[in-house]
């Protein structure tokens, strides 16, 4: 994989030119893209031309991929839907502009499930092409995993960053709700949609998030603080595979050996209620956010999306409002629980990437945290017996993104084969 931080340091030291970095990406894309199918649009030459003007900026010379639900004025934007075939927006999404301002070179658009919901993209898992890469940010996770790009952007409404990162064995970071702007990103659910990032390691996604947000989020250079970790198995623990349960156990023990305080914690009942509420919020809002597409192009929507929109259309405002109240109470309860911990450790997904490309897997270990607005990091480094990645998830407190990234970096280090 290409580490954004390592590349940035070598560029800064004059050991690599931006053109050489784009060549590295181009070579990997030539070698892997035919099998992986991470991209729906690509313009490496355009990026080469723009590279010079970015000297001195934090992402100078780094090629970046944007999930194809971010509007781009210079590349087609299709939202994973035939309705938008060849569509070229007038303006860039805000996050695209922030990437460009930071010197990042937007080289392509990565494959997304239809409107970032469930209907799969063409992408295959770089570790085993008969397995899903996860979704909805399928191409963004796979592009990093296949060593084609150092940084890609995605979005999460249920588990669309953390799950594909776990399935593809890369670092995935869903920051706190609204830390990065969703303006110009196709909306599915305004209370849930969150911009996220993929990179080779935790320090890489932290570096890129810091670069575009201007926030003090870098965690490279220096030893991460020793975190207090709550191991949370949730009420759906039965849904985790044996491999995943073992991975959480391995991660907990590795963190402990590295000095972390680790304690098993049961979630208050209101969080299980909130878990049930997520689909209510998501579908109610999706039925409104995608009303134009449903009303005008229903025949061109997948059955799974039609089902979501029709389910959401039947939810009354009273039920939706009640769901929002549950969500608010759950956030307060979670804040109380987190008073004694820096982060939660929990699965990133039910297990390794499922076989088949007809489904992108399930977001059951993600959606509660998305609803809570909490920062979530997929920590890569573990694998099942067949070599497929198994990701564990660090969940931080809302607004404490730096602490979440530091704890994730700590765990990532503790999981390195040398340390385990």
The footprint of its own copies (CB under 8 A) covers: 73, 84, 87, 90-94, 96-98, 100-101, 178, 181-184, 187, 190-191, 213-215, 285, 288-289, 291-293, 295-296, 316-317, 321, 399
CB of 13 to its own copies, least distance (A): 28
Q: Which own/partner pairs from 23-28 qualify as long-range (CB within 8 Å, at least 24 positions apart)?
A: 25/63, 25/107, 25/148, 25/149, 25/150, 28/2, 28/146, 28/147, 28/148
CB of 218 to its own copies, least distance (A): 14
Contact in structure between 176 and 182 (CB atoms under 8 Å)? no
**Which is nearer to its own copies, 33 or 71 (by Cβ)?**
71
β 63-67/105-110 pair status: parallel
Considering the candidates 3, 81, 109, 136, report the single residue annotated as catalytic: 136
**Which is nearer to its own copies, 128 or 213 (by Cβ)?**
213
| Whether residue 81 lies in the annotated active site | no
**Which is nearer to its own copies, 178 or 416 (by Cβ)?**
178
**Which is nearer to its own copies, 165 or 179 (by Cβ)?**
179
| Whether residue 136 lies in the annotated active site | yes
Q: What is the spatial distance between Cα 38 and Cα 152, in angstroms, rounded to a whole number?
A: 11
Residue 13 CB: number of other CB atoms within 10 A?
Answer: 8
**Which is nearer to its own copies, 27 or 87 (by Cβ)?**
87
DSSP 357-418: SS-----TTTHHHHHHT--EEEEEEEE-TTS-EEEEEEEE-TT-HHHHHHHHHHHHHHTSTT
Considering the candidates 3, 67, 302, 327, report the single residue annotated as catalytic: 67
Considering the candidates 160, 283, 302, 327, report the single residue annotated as catalytic: 160
Tokens of 76: 């087609």
CB of 299 to its own copies, least distance (A): 16
CB of 223 to its own copies, least distance (A): 25
Residue 245 CB: number of other CB atoms within 10 A?
Answer: 15
| Whether residue 122 lies in the annotated active site | no
CB of 279 to its own copies, least distance (A): 18
Residues with a known catalytic role: 67, 136, 160
């Amino acid at each position: 994989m290409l580490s954004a931080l390592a590349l940035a340091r070598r560029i800064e030291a004059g050991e690599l030119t931006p053109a050489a970095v784009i060549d590295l990406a181009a070579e990997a894309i030539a070698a892997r893209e035919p099998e992986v199918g991470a991209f729906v649009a690509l313009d490496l030459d355009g990026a080469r031309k723009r590279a010079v003007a970015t000297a001195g900026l934090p992402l100078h010379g780094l090629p970046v991929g944007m999930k194809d639900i971010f509007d781009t004025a210079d590349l087609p934007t299709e939202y994973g839907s035939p309705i938008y075939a060849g569509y070229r927006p007038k303006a860039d999404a805000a996050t695209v502009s922030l990437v460009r301002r930071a010197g990042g070179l937007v080289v392509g658009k990565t494959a997304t499930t239809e409107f970032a919901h469930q209907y799969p993209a063409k992408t295959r898992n770089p570790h085993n092409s008969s397995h899903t890469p996860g979704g909805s940010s399928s191409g963004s996770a796979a592009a990093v995993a296949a060593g084609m790009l150092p940084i890609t952007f995605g979005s999460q409404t249920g588990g669309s960053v953390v799950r594909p990162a776990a399935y593809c064995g890369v670092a995935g970071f869903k920051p706190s709700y609204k830390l990065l702007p969703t303006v110009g990103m196709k909306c599915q659910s305004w209370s849930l949609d969150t911009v996220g990032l993929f990179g080779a390691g935790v320090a890489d996604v932290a570096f890129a998030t810091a670069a575009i947000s201007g926030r003090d989020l870098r965690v490279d250079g220096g030893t991460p603080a020793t975190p207090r970790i709550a191991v949370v198995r949730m009420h759906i623990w039965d849904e985790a595979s044996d491999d995943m349960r073992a991975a959480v156990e391995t991660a907990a023990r590795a963190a402990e050996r590295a000095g972390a305080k680790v304690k098993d914690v049961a979630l208050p009942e209101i969080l299980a209620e909130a878990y049930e509420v997520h689909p209510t919020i998501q579908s109610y809002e999706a039925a409104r956010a995608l009303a134009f597409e449903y009303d005008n192009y229903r025949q061109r929507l997948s059955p799974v999306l039609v089902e979501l929109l029709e389910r959401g259309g039947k939810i009354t405002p009273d039920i939706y409002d009640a769901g929002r109240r549950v969500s608010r109470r759950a956030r307060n309860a979670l804040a109380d629980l987190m008073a004694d911990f820096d982060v939660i450790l929990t699965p990133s997904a039910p297990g390794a990437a499922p076989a088949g490309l007809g489904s992108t897997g399930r977001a059951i270990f993600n959606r509660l945290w998305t609803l809570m607005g909490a920062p979530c990091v997929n920590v890569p480094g573990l694998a099942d017996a067949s070599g497929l990645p198994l990701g564990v998830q660090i969940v931080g407190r809302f607004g404490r993104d730096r602490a979440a990234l530091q704890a994730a970096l700590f765990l990532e280090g503790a999981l390195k084969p040398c340390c385990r």
